[in-house]
Amino acid sequence: MSVTERRELLFAAAVRVLERDGLAALSTRAIVAEAEMSLASFHYAYETHEQLLVEIIAATIDGELSAGLAGLGDAAARTPREAIHGALTSYLELVRADPGREQGMFELTQHALRRPTMTALAADQYAKYHAAAAELLDHVAKRFEVTWSVPTADLARLVIAMTDGLTLAWLTSRDDEAAARLITLTTDALLAHLEDS
Amino acid sequence: MSVTERRELLFAAAVRVLERDGLAALSTRAIVAEAEMSLASFHYAYETHEQLLVEIIAATIDGELSAGLAGLGDAAARTPREAIHGALTSYLELVRADPGREQGMFELTQHALRRPTMTALAADQYAKYHAAAAELLDHVAKRFEVTWSVPTADLARLVIAMTDGLTLAWLTSRDDEAAARLITLTTDALLAHLEDS
DNA sequence: GTCTATAGCCGGATAGAC
DNA sequence: GTCTATCCGGCTATAGAC
């Protein structure tokens, strides 16, 4: 087996363990067991356990972005409200479909914030979240020929803060109706800063 | 030393370790070292390590509430906008003054969500957050003789989601100006649902 | 290359001396 | 009651057989 193939298998196994059992259970032993390998073979692909963690954080950033906010580009939306409401709703669907995944993201962020060598990763993670949200807000403005009366960089932070808060609220309560109302309130908050060009 | 006194000392030491070093470092050994006790004496006050964790989660809920949203009752505020903006700002000050504390809260929530025996605690935690936020929104409405056009229970979820999102944004970026703008946007979002009685 | 076996450390919990 | 010493298990990492 090639080193790169082994890395990919271990990486995929690690993501499964993280989502299913949480970061606290993401030991080297759990990973190789999930990948059905021997313990020693882990270090043939990765130097240290922490190195895999770093790679997971870095990689999950991009995946999260494309999946979570893909709904914003939804071609079926006929108004800015539909576009934004639909995007937030499709994000919530993602959380509902795989709660462990979003929980794993939070755990990774918290973990990174606690280690000096990894805090930059957490900062990068959120910088990319904000950039992606801003890009999609710009996309909505362009598509519907409207303009945001507040810098999209600021509105993007509002979007990300709300998705984080929405996720935590749903994870702790599992209340779909309350989450739907929260999405509507968030949509209202964003649309208040939209004006015709 | 009485059992209750020992419990209090261990509890306080555990909170210090949690805030300073994080949940992952909150071992029984670390706690007794912080409290300057022997290892065995821990189990004279608490049956298990998990029992202390449960107690910390339960107790920190109330403390967080009273401290975090105390600004909403600020007597100096002369308008609803000042009251809400001031409350969110004073909450952010709390986060800035003690980032480790808020991080510890997130870590406890994530931890509780992963163990079946503790998920109810996380649900209680957020239910109490929401109830407290609703109560304070009601307080603002009463004091300034205005009414909320949306159930305060729903607006309360918006408040809590935003404080969570705001906290994560600040923890990852340490950007005070961006946080201030986020607070202004949040204040706007809430005031949009305020009308004269 | 790949495995078994193990070193060395830290974890929670407890036995037993005093 | 309070401590030291220890059990036992899980952890990361690596040595060494093949």
Q: Give contacts of B157 with chain A, Cβ < 8 Å.
A: 169, 178, 181-182
Residue B179 has pLDDT above 90, yes or no: yes
Q: Cα(A45)–Cα(A52) distance, rounded to whole angstroms?
A: 9
For tokens 């006929």, the residue is A78
Q: Which of B173, B178, B183, B11 has the alpha carbon at shortest distance from B99?
A: B173
Does residue A73 have a pLDDT over 70? no
Q: Is A81 helix (H, G, I), strand (E, B) or coil?
A: helix
Q: For chain A, which domains are there? A: 1-47 (1.10.10), 49-196 (1.10.357.10)
What is the identity of the amino acid at A68?
A: G
Is residue B188 less than 8 Å (CB to CB) from chain A? yes
* pLDDT band for position B72 (cuts 50, 70, 90): low
Nearest nucleotide (CA of B38 to C1'):
D3
Query: Which among B110, B161, B188 has the least Cβ separation from residue A182?
Result: B161
Which nucleotides in chain C have some atom under 7 angstroms from a protein Cβ?
1-6, 10-16
Question: Both tokens of residue A100?
Answer: 């462990």
| Per-residue pLDDT, A62 | 72
The closest of B88, B196, B83 to B139, measured between CA atoms, is B83
Is B152 within 8 Å of chain A by CB? no
Q: Which residues in chain A belong to E strands, given as ranges?
A: 146-148, 194-196
- pLDDT at position B78 is 93
The Cα angle at residue A132 between residues B104 and A168, in degrees rounded to 5: 30
The CA-atom distances, in angstroms, between A162 and each of A51, A177, A183, B144 are: 31, 16, 9, 27
The CB-side HSE value for A144 (13 A sphere, CA atoms) comes to: 25
Q: Which residue has the higher pLDDT, B54 or A60?
A: B54
Which candidate, A106, A101, A120, A103, places its Cα nearest to that of A54?
A120
Burial of A78 (0-12, 13-18, 19+ CB in 10 A): exposed
Chain A interface disruption, residue of B118, B168, B173, most A CBs within 10 A: B168
pLDDT value at position B23? 98
What's the average model confidence in pLDDT over B162-167?
98
Tell me if B165 and A169 make a contact (CB, 8 A cut-off): no
Banded pLDDT at B67 (limits 50, 70, 90): low
- Whether A182 sits inside 8 A of B127 (CB atoms) is no
| Residue A76: per-residue pLDDT | 85
Please give the single-letter amino acid code of residue B107. E
Q: Which of A110, A176, A183 to mutate to test the interface with B (most CBs of B within 10 A)?
A: A110
Instruction: Please check whether residue B191 touches A, CB under 8 A.
Output: no
Q: Residue B173 corresponds to which tokens in the numbers above? A: 């970026």
Question: Which residues of A, range 52-81, sit inside 8 Å of B by Cβ?
Answer: none
Closest partner CB to A172 (pick from B103, B125, B158): B125
The stretch A103-132 carries a mean pLDDT of 96
Can you give the pLDDT at residue B60?
Answer: 80
Model confidence band, residue A175 (pLDDT cutoffs 50, 70, 90): very high
Give the mean model confidence (pLDDT) for residues B164-178: 98
Chain A touched by B166 (CB under 8 Å)? yes
* Residue B75: CB less than 7 A from any atom in strand D: no
> Taking a contact as any Cβ pair under 8 Å apart, which residues of chain A between 30 and 49 contact chain B?
none
Q: What is the predicted pLDDT for the residue at B64?
A: 65
Mean pLDDT of B137-154: 96
Across-strand partners of B148? B194
CA–CA dist B30, B22 (Å, integer): 11
Mean pLDDT of A83-104: 94
CA distances from A97 to A91, A138, A170 (A): 10, 28, 12
Mutate to test the interface with B, among A20, A103, A114 (most CBs of B within 10 A): A114
